[in-house]
Amino acid sequence: MKYPQLIILSLLIFPLSCSAGDQSESDAQTARNVIAHYFTTKASISPTHHPSFVTGDFNGDGITDIAILFQPAKIVTTSRQVQTSTPWAFPGSVQSDAYQISLVIINGTSGGWFSPDTKVYAILDKSGSLQTPSFQLTVKRKADKEYAPLQAMLPVKHAGDLIVLPTEAGIDTIIFWDQQKYRLHVPAETP
């Protein structure tokens, strides 16, 4: 191969490797950058949870997504890219005036985390549900033996990985994609 052909081939391959790396190399700095990009600088990843982020294909489209525990700013602004929900705000729940540690899920795209096509789903909490000492963010993937029983509990068929939020009571809450938004599923307690 001649030298000019090698340069042209390198120029064609380099941009592809950069955009792929943008998705696959999800580290703490990437999580911080994503939070800073989509929210104000007053928002931050949770310093008390390890891990404070996980990756998986949560919406089942074959592209890596990232879920990050974060402390939102006092005001969270929605946009074409950023949607919010407050699934822990139900009748009888105790809510504080400010957001507590919450969860944001960023659906990956072929254009990377900061693409104009990226969708961001902030699952906001004022109840403190994600602040219990034993809490640890986990993912159940389709290949995991625990996946099928969890999938069977969901009210709709789900194609992606599941985000599992363990509780102190031992009843895991599941976050899943319903083809339009992320929803919470809290299994009924059985005596």
CA distance 81 to 102: 18
Q: Cα–Cα distances in Å, from 73 out to 23, 90, 157?
A: 25, 22, 34
Q: Using one digit for the tens of pLDDT, what is the confidence trace for 138-152?
A: 999 999 999 999 999
Beta pairing partners, 48: none
Query: Domain tally for the chain?
Result: 1
Residue 168 lies in a domain: yes
- To which H or E segment does residue 83 belong? strand 82-85
- Asked if residue 190 belongs to a domain, the reply is no
Q: Give tens-digit pLDDT for 12-67.
A: 333 333 333 444 344 888 899 999 999 987 888 887 777 789 999 999 999 999 99
Structural domain boundaries enclosing 137:
3-185
Q: What global pTM score does this model have? A: 0.81
